[in-house]
Amino acid sequence: MKLNRLDFIEAGWANDHRLDLIMNRASLIMQEKGISDVKYVMKLLRREFPDAYASLSMRGAGDAPVVLSEAIVADTESEHKNLQKVRSQMQELMRCPVVVRGSLMPDACPVGGGAASMPVGGVVVAENAIIPAAHSSDICCSMFVSFYRQGQDIDSELNVLEQATRFGPGVRSEPVFHEVLDEPVWSNPFLRGLEAKALGHMADQGDGNHFAYLGCMEVTQTLLSRLNEAGYAEMATALLEDVGSSLNVLVTHHGSRGLGSVVYGRGLEAAVKMTARYARGIPEEAAWIYADSSQGQDYWQALQYLSRWTRANHASIHQRFLDGLGQASLWQLGNQHNFVWQRGREYVHGKGATPAWKDDSGRPRLGLIPLNMAEPVLLVLGGDQQEFNSFAPHGAGRNLSRRGILKQYKRRGQLDLKAMDDEMKRTTQGIKVRWYQGQADITETPVGYKPAAKVMEQIETFALASVLAKIEPRGCMMAGRKPAPGEKPLSPKQIRQRQHRAERRRNNQRNWMDDHQEDQW
């Protein structure tokens, strides 16, 4: 039996200058001792070359630092705290031995989990390796847009949209079919047995920050000229008839749903096991799969299928919506912002980062950057800033976690629902918002996100992308939440009573302290 280089790499040997010597030694052992048991040969080699087996570890203080570029500026105290946490997580991830460089986008915000967890708005580039945790469980979270002419009033369009899509946990009760489901991919070990999830989640958007956004966009001669200059003559031609008028727009945002979540779990498990063969002391969130291994090829193919499936999911929702309106799409486009892209032997991971490099034809990539439900969605051309690994932000990002946002509305341990409702009405004035599950989620309103103007300013400052057009908001649909049993907002009288009781308690506390001043040192 003859062993090749890949056999040794997959068995856990470092792919460096020592490997040729080890391979030659293995051939000699097999010839001289007549051994054909590969596992036994590897055991003998580990005794002879212990330093070359599972020899990788997280970079230390004495190792050359990996460049982390930052396209983000912090001004306020909360922004500085946010950036400090984000930077800490990225710097720890940069210690991973397969990572060669990284970047932070203007929308960067920390995530829970381990010290080396990839923050939202982060980019890492790895040599011949895919790091599942760096693209997150929401694989292929992405944007998709359709432009169409004749719409209806916003309430009617939201009614049609509600029938076209689905939000919340679980799957569709009545499946929606798409030809992508018939692709012969289910023997892939990362996709095996997931046909039902692929079907059940088609035309399904989930929850959290996923949305369906109805807007309008002015078609100007400047827009068409810039499209032509950038190499998008076909799109410019499709919109030519509408110069001087406004088109209606549907924008959707979601990922690969439960299908991608299971693939992620399998990928992370495989990464942890593979990394353990090559390295010691690597945290789970930095574990990798070598891209040129057989497992790496299987995982890569599974990711490509998730990309096709997610685009089909978007397209299904858009087609159902347009059919409900009796309209046709003039143009459609989309982009991913949670994914892995290959550039030669490098694998570029974006977790909440919009690709902004040039495509294979040399054109700057078109992309969509949402800000919040009450602000425009930006139609952009990528700036291809290599200093920042040619990415742009994927949205506005947060300075506070969801829990931190809710904490601002707590009164003696209970949420002040009236104050929350007032703030949501104020920040979404002028648009129609519909919560699919019945109750609003304040953490997904503009209250929950960084100021849109500041994010747009930093996009321009760092030349990450140039804005072609703004899709102005008309209405938005998100999952929201199911109402709690008996949930009702506080009445104005109840709010006043609580305020009076709190004031009495403060006065009593002050009086007690005045009476006992002499007891204190």
- List pLDDT tens digits, range 332-370: 999 999 999 999 999 999 999 999 999 999 999 999 999
CB 287 within 8 A of CB 132: yes
| Residue 111, in any domain of the structure | no
What's the CA gap between 505 and 346, in Å, rounded?
Answer: 62
Flag whether 337 is marked binding.
yes
Residue 62: the pLDDT is 81
| Residue 487, in any domain of the structure | no
Among 13, 34, 53, which residue terminates a domain?
Answer: 53
For residue 459, give the CATH number of its domain. 3.90.1860.10
User: Does one domain contain both 207 and 303?
Assistant: yes
User: Does one domain contain both 261 and 361?
Assistant: yes
3-state secondary structure of 165: coil
User: Does one domain contain both 290 and 170?
Assistant: yes
| Residue 29, in any domain of the structure | yes
User: Does one domain contain both 280 and 429?
Assistant: yes
Flag whether 396 is marked binding.
yes
What's the CA gap between 434 and 414, in Å, rounded?
Answer: 25
List the beta bridge partners of residue 249: 147, 215
**Total Cβ atoms within 10 A of residue 17:** 8
Residue 363: the pLDDT is 97
**Catalytic residue selected from 210, 394, 500, 516:** 394
Flag whether 371 is marked binding.
yes
Q: What is the pLDDT along the chain (521 residues), one digit of tens a residue?
A: 678 887 887 777 777 778 889 999 999 999 888 888 888 988 898 888 877 776 788 998 888 889 999 999 999 999 999 999 999 999 999 999 999 999 999 999 999 889 999 999 999 999 999 999 999 999 999 999 999 998 899 999 999 999 999 999 999 999 999 999 999 999 999 999 999 999 999 999 999 999 999 999 999 999 999 999 999 999 999 999 999 999 999 999 999 999 999 999 999 999 999 999 888 899 999 999 999 999 999 999 999 999 999 999 999 999 999 999 999 999 999 999 999 999 999 999 999 999 999 999 999 999 999 999 999 999 999 999 999 999 999 999 998 888 889 999 998 888 888 999 999 999 999 999 999 999 999 999 999 999 999 999 999 999 999 999 999 999 999 999 887 666 554 444 444 454 455 455 444 433 333 333 332 22
Verify whether residue 80 is a known catalytic residue.
no
Query: What six digits make up the tokens of 442?
Result: 């304040």
E-only strand ranges, 117-182: 120-127, 129-130, 142-148
Flag whether 395 is marked binding.
yes
Q: How many CA atoms lie within 13 A of 350 on its CB side?
A: 25
Residue 200: the pLDDT is 97
What's the CA gap between 485 and 439, in Å, rounded?
Answer: 12
Query: What six digits make up the tokens of 21?
Result: 């010597």
| Residue 116, in any domain of the structure | no
User: Does one domain contain both 153 and 41?
Assistant: no
Report the candidate in 513, 520, 494 with the shortest Cα–Cα distance to residue 416. 494
Q: How many CA atoms lie within 13 A of 210 on its CB side?
A: 26
| Residue 129, in any domain of the structure | no
User: Does one domain contain both 35 and 176?
Assistant: no
- Residue 254's contacts (CB-CB under 8 Å, 6 or more residues apart) are 141, 142, 205, 206, 210, 310, 313, 314
Q: Which domain holds residue 331?
A: 141-214+251-478
Query: Kindly report the CA angle at 30 between 25 and 35, in degrees rounded to 5?
Result: 140
Flag whether 338 is marked binding.
yes
What's the CA gap between 312 and 335, in Å, rounded?
Answer: 13
User: Does one domain contain both 39 and 147?
Assistant: no
User: Does one domain contain both 39 and 170?
Assistant: no
Flag whether 508 is marked binding.
no
Q: Which helix (H) or strand (E) holds 55?
A: none
Report the candidate in 51, 36, 49, 39 with the shortest Cα–Cα distance to residue 11. 39
| Residue 389, in any domain of the structure | yes
The DSSP code sequence of 449-508 is S--HHHHHHHHHHTT-EEEEEEEEEEEEEE--BPPPTT--PPPHHHHHHHHHHHHHHHHH
What's the CA gap between 310 and 274, in Å, rounded?
Answer: 28
E-only strand ranges, 39-112: 67-70, 99-109
Flag whether 201 is marked binding.
no
Query: Kindly report the CA angle at 311 between 308 and 315, in degrees rounded to 5?
Result: 135
Question: Which amino acid appears at position 144 of this protein?
Answer: F
User: Does one domain contain both 145 and 46?
Assistant: no
Q: Which helix (H) or strand (E) holds 76?
A: none
| Residue 502, in any domain of the structure | no
Q: Per the structure, how many domains does the chain have?
A: 2
Flag whether 90 is marked binding.
no
Report the candidate in 440, 431, 459 with the shortest Cα–Cα distance to residue 367. 459
CB 189 within 8 A of CB 266: yes
pTM of the model: 0.85
Buried b (16+ CB within 10 A) or exposed e, 312-347: bbbbbbbbbbbebbebebbbbbbbbbbbbbeeeebb
What's the CA gap between 74 and 451, in Å, rounded?
Answer: 12
**Total Cβ atoms within 10 A of residue 54:** 17
List the beta bridge partners of residue 343: 346
| Residue 488, in any domain of the structure | no
User: Does one domain contain both 48 and 173?
Assistant: no
